[in-house]
A and B are shown apart, each in its own frame.
Chain A
């Protein structure tokens, strides 16, 4: 086996994250005008309920067919059938704590145990005061596959709804509560 190296520790992005991490096209997981595309918008609040105006979210998801254009997808890397699909989104919050991502619904995913993961986006949250990213997931409401999702199943039933977006006028809303009452479920990966 090769030598083991200690990982470099994480540090906060700090208050000036925007100069390094904001991309003009960041929110566009799929290009504007993509058929079936919608917005996921949400507000990030801290333990006092105040908006977090200096945070950033990053999303990662499968394409609508449940595939990844990535060499480690054991089913084979495969370009998405949606033109311009990046799978990745990045959006910082405004002064009121709102972020927005423009995307399409990912497909369900097979697991090594023969189960099926319901459609979801993985989300990383970065911000001043967060020494390491927080990881959460966005699931979709009225999705029958949620009931059998092997991740949702392990989450305290009283907190599961923090992982499920709500319908909104132009897509979905997914708020993130960093701390306290109705705290969003965050994951260790």
Chain B
């Protein structure tokens, strides 16, 4: 009754920075040619289903999910690294208590996956899967090993630069993001059509972690910092009023 007649005020999420994302059709990455839609996307207004989203919590986490070096009886081979950062929205606000999922190849560049069978060794002590929640400041931290580069069949002698896959939920359906974190100065960037599918060089840089000496742990692990920015909110009518000078 009053519920259906009262005006609904919904927070919106800015669409202006979607240009940062790669075009779905990026022919250098061959499988986009038969998988990218040909019709233009249809504009979807942001209503209740879009401005809400799953708030997945502790129930999704195992005790050692954030430490990929301690998920087996022995330690994995490779350079131990700490990967940490903050999840923010486009206005610099923390995204707290939000699920972060990662997966990656082992130090030799091989995934523990049935269809990855290139001649690099599996590591019996490495699964390559991590999960954690951001804290109330949007911070997260994983301990893992430096992933290796790996070959793929996209073009002649193609190699993926070392990367860690990241999956983020934010707080709304509109903020859902899956991306990859890269390592600074990788010589394989220039020949990688997935990295270069992002056309804006500044946007590309946002996928590259930075070496973070201050976060290293002496005689134990190197560290990289990777901040992730999800879409920001449009100003609500109330915020507009506040902003009036």
Does chain A have a CB within 8 A of B213? no
Does chain B have a CB within 8 A of A128? yes
The size bracket of the interface on B is 35 or more
A60-B116 Cα distance, complex, nearest whole Å: 31
* Closest chain A CB from B41 CB (angstroms): 4
User: What are the residues of chain A within 8 A of B194 when measuring CB–CB?
Assistant: 11-12, 131
Determine whether the beta carbon of B53 is less than 8 Å from that of A60. Answer: yes
- Given that A2-B92, A5-B229, A109-B47 are contacting pairs, would A74 and B35 also be in contact in the complex, using a CB cutoff of 8 Å? no
* Closest chain B CB from A27 CB (angstroms): 14
A185-B203 Cα distance, complex, nearest whole Å: 28
Determine whether the beta carbon of B15 is less than 8 Å from that of A188. Answer: yes
Q: Using an 8 Å CB-CB cutoff, how does the interface string of A118-138 with B read, 1 for contact, 0 for none?
A: 001010101111111111010
The residue in A11, A16, A18, A72 that gathers the most chain B C-beta atoms within 10 A of its C-beta is A11
User: What are the residues of chain A within 8 A of B235 when measuring CB–CB?
Assistant: 1
Determine whether the beta carbon of B177 is less than 8 Å from that of A10. Answer: yes
Does chain A have a CB within 8 A of B21? yes
A137-B44 Cα distance, complex, nearest whole Å: 10
| Among B8, B20, B53, B113, contact of A19 (Cβ-Cβ < 8 Å) | B113
Within 8 A of A (CB), among B204-243: 204, 206-207, 228-232, 235, 243
Question: A32-40, A45-53, A140-148, A164-172: which lies at the B interface?
Answer: A45-53
A-B residue pairs, 8 tightest by C-beta: A20-B103, A129-B31, A88-B54, A187-B44, A129-B35, A70-B52, A188-B41, A131-B22
How many A-B pairs with Cβ below 8 Å? 254
Does chain A have a CB within 8 A of B56? yes
User: Which positions in A face B, CB cutoff 8 Å?
Assistant: 1-21, 23, 46-48, 50, 52, 58, 60-62, 68, 70, 72-75, 86-88, 109-112, 114, 117, 120, 122, 124, 126-135, 137, 150-151, 154-155, 159, 178-180, 183-189
User: What are the residues of chain A within 8 A of B53 when measuring CB–CB?
Assistant: 60, 70, 88
A2-B88 Cα distance, complex, nearest whole Å: 12
A17-B128 Cα distance, complex, nearest whole Å: 11
The residue in A10, A52, A122, A178 that gathers the most chain B C-beta atoms within 10 A of its C-beta is A10
Question: B70-78, B136-144, B165-173, B183-191: which lies at the A interface?
Answer: B165-173
Determine whether the beta carbon of B29 is less than 8 Å from that of A131. Answer: yes
* Closest chain B CB from A179 CB (angstroms): 6
Does chain A have a CB within 8 A of B127? yes
A117-B50 Cα distance, complex, nearest whole Å: 12
Show 16 A/B contacts (Cβ-Cβ < 8 Å), sorted by A: A3-B91, A6-B203, A7-B90, A8-B179, A11-B22, A21-B167, A58-B176, A60-B53, A75-B8, A112-B7, A117-B47, A127-B35, A133-B176, A179-B34, A187-B41, A187-B44
